[in-house]
């Protein structure tokens, strides 16, 4: 068995987005000890090293990423589609919002709340035949498939959905429902 170096421990911890304190808590050691090990000031006992490595291994298994959360089937609209089509898609799939994508690039979004607001001040029959681009809101934020669940959750506090993009292409979408499925 090859023993990890102080640099490899620090690199693994950083990759997981853990603080020294969080790693120390998981490994049942003190934060100053983690700091001293990572700086190379101290050679830990084998049992201490084993606790740290086990904690890192466990955290790597538990790390949930955008790729784990996303729905790969992307139901989207073009800015030239009608609002009627948007409503039918929302109804069919049970969504309250949809991304608007043009030539593979997200350019906006449309949601039930935007349409309900419009219905309060405009002729309903005119809204139905209007183009999506007339009622479009800003695009949903985009993340890479490797983005951690904490970042995605934070974005979902302010947005209806988060798009997952890889190599400039939308490969998935995440909504609050997708996060909630983890509770099952």
Tell me the percentage of the chain whose pLDDT exceeds 90.
70
For residues 67 and 146, is the Cβ–Cβ distance under 8 A? yes
pLDDT band at 184 (very low <50, low <70, confident <90, very high): low
Question: Which of 72, 90, 69 is CA-nearest to residue 155?
Answer: 69
What tens digit of pLDDT does each residue of 120-163 get?
A: 888 888 999 999 999 999 999 999 999 988 889 899 999 999 99
Q: Report yes or no on whether pTM surpasses 0.75.
A: no
Cα separation, 10 vs 8, in Å, equals 5
Query: Are the beta carbons of 151 and 98 closer than 8 angstroms?
Result: no
> Which residues does 96 contact at the CB level (< 8 Å), separation at least 6?
90, 111, 112, 113, 160
What are the structural domain ranges in the chain? Answer: 6-63, 67-183
Architecture of the domain defined by 6-63 = Orthogonal Bundle (1.10)
pLDDT digits (tens, 9 = 90+) for 27-62: 999 999 999 999 999 989 999 999 999 999 888 777
**Cα separation of 182 and 90, whole Å?**
23
Q: Which helix (H) or strand (E) holds 162?
A: strand 161-166
pLDDT for 182 beyond 80: no
Separation between Cα atoms, residue 53 and residue 46, nearest integer Å: 10
Q: Which tokens is 103 given?
A: 């030539």
Yes or no: say if 106 and 163 are a contact pair by the CB < 8 Å rule: yes
pLDDT-derived band at 181 (thresholds 50, 70, 90) equals: confident
Give residue 14's pLDDT.
Answer: 86
d(CA 52, CA 84): 57
Q: What is the mean pLDDT of the chain?
A: 91
The tokens for 65 are 């990423």
What CATH number belongs to 67-183? 3.10.580.10
Q: In the numeric block, which tokens belong to residue 100?
A: 């608007």
């Amino acid at each position: 068995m090859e023993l990890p170096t102080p640099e490899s421990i620090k690199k693994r911890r950083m990759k997981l987005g853990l603080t020294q304190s969080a790693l120390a808590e998981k490994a049942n050691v003190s934060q100053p000890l983690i700091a001293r090990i990572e700086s190379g000031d101290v050679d830990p006992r084998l049992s201490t090293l084993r606790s740290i490595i086990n904690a890192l291994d466990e955290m790597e298994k538990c790390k949930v990423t955008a790729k784990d959360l996303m729905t790969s089937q992307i139901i989207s609209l073009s800015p030239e589609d009608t609002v009627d089509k948007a409503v039918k898609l929302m109804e069919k799939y049970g969504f309250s919002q949809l991304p608007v994508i043009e030539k593979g690039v997200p350019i906006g979004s449309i949601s039930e709340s935007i349409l309900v607001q419009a219905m309060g001040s405009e002729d309903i029959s005119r809204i139905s035949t209007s183009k999506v681009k007339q009622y479009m809101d800003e695009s949903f934020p985009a993340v890479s498939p490797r983005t951690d669940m904490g970042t995605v959750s934070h974005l979902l506090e302010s947005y209806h959905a988060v798009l997952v993009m890889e190599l400039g292409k939308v490969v998935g979408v995440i909504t609050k429902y997708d996060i909630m499925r983890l509770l099952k």
